[in-house]
Every structure is written in C-alpha cells, then in structure tokens.
Amino acid sequence: MAKKFATDKPTFAEIRKLKKRNRRSVEILLDPDLKVRILDLRARIKTETRRDLRQNRAPVAPGLQKELDLLEESASESEVSFVFEALGNKAYSDLIDEHPPTDEQITEFGRLEWNPETFPPAVIQASCIEPELTPDDVEHIMEEFSSGDVQALFNTALLVNVERASVPFTATDTARTPDSPLNSISALEEELQSLTDGS
C-alpha cells in the first residue's frame, strides 16, 4: 500500500486533506410487488425442499429456485440506490438548530432533538448526493413513498451524519441501517448498540 503521509507524524493539514466524509447508500425497490413474490417463493422453496426429502417424487424445489433467481434478477434491476454523504459536524448541527421541536411536540412526545415533521425531509434533501434532490422531490418522497421506504432514507441520512468513520474489528461491530423510527442522538446510539450487541 502506498504511504499516504510524508512522515510517521502527519500534520493536521495533511490529515484534513485526505479525510473523506462518511457515505452510506440504501436501495429502494421501485416495484414492491416483486418483494412480496420473492418472499412468498422463498417460503414455498423451504416447504417444497422438505417435501422433496420426505416424499418419493421428482424434486420440485430446484425448479422453484430457478424461478426465484429470475425474480431476484428482476428485483435488482428494479432497485435504485440513494447515496448519502455526511454534511460535516457544524452543518449538521446547524440543520438541527433550524428545525427545533414545537412546544406541542415536546408536550406530546417528551424530549426531542429536532422537529419530527420538518427535520426528516430536510436532512434527507441536504445529505442525499445521488440522486440530487430538490425540496419538491423530497416532498413527493414524503407523500408518495411507503413509510418504510421513507424511514429507510431518513435513517440512512441520520447514520451517515453521526456514525464514526472507523473500520469494525469484528462482523458484529458493523451496524446495519435500522428500520425503527429514531428522533434523537441517544435513541440512535441505543439502536446502534442493540444492533452491535446482537439483540
């Protein structure tokens, strides 16, 4: 591997020049019917595999597997990747400050780091670099995408901005994008901790 620094004690200017921002991506399936068909077919393959082993018949599971392979190929062609990049600590903090929770929201939900109505679209729009999104684009996403897809985009935007950029030492240290709603740094940390603990 080529040496990145001129000496064993690099200056901050050298470090800053090479430091890249966190990036994360999430795949969104454009045809959700494919997901339902894939899950149904996977379940059927498990059932038919057991029957193939127990019954004296021509195996059914291999034919279903070929059908599943074709469906999964179609699904991969129907996926679009949304790529997010960290804003940087100050820009991210400023964005949070621009979207404070209302008094009514605090009364209803308790302590909140941000406004749960205005912050998710703002951080999605600000952090998504591929495709580039306008405020109108994000408004369409919030109105037209499923709540699960919106949550996946929001969680990815959160994680890319707050996670530490380091190489995990073990497979269990690698955090997947959580599917549950998150609305505070502490909740995010708890979610990531539960994932790395294997719970």
CA nearest to 123, candidates 189, 182, 196, 194: 182
What count of Cα atoms within 13 Å lies in the side-chain half-sphere of residue 31? 12
CA nearest to 45, candidates 78, 72, 75, 73: 72
Looking at residue 185, its pLDDT comes to 47
As beta bridge partners, residue 130 has 83
CA nearest to 141, candidates 176, 4, 178, 152: 152
Residue type, 152: A
Query: What DSSP designation does 122 have?
Result: H
Tokens of 127: 């952090």
CA nearest to 69, candidates 47, 45, 48: 45
Contacts of 183 (CB under 8 A, 6+ apart): 109, 112, 113, 114, 116
Looking at residue 85, its pLDDT comes to 97
Per-residue model confidence as pLDDT tens for the chain (199 residues): 456 777 778 888 888 888 888 999 999 988 878 888 888 888 988 998 888 888 878 888 888 888 888 888 877 777 899 999 999 999 999 999 999 999 999 999 999 999 999 999 999 999 999 999 999 999 999 999 999 999 999 999 999 999 886 665 555 544 444 444 444 445 555 544 443 344 3
| Alpha-carbon span 132 to 120, nearest angstrom | 16
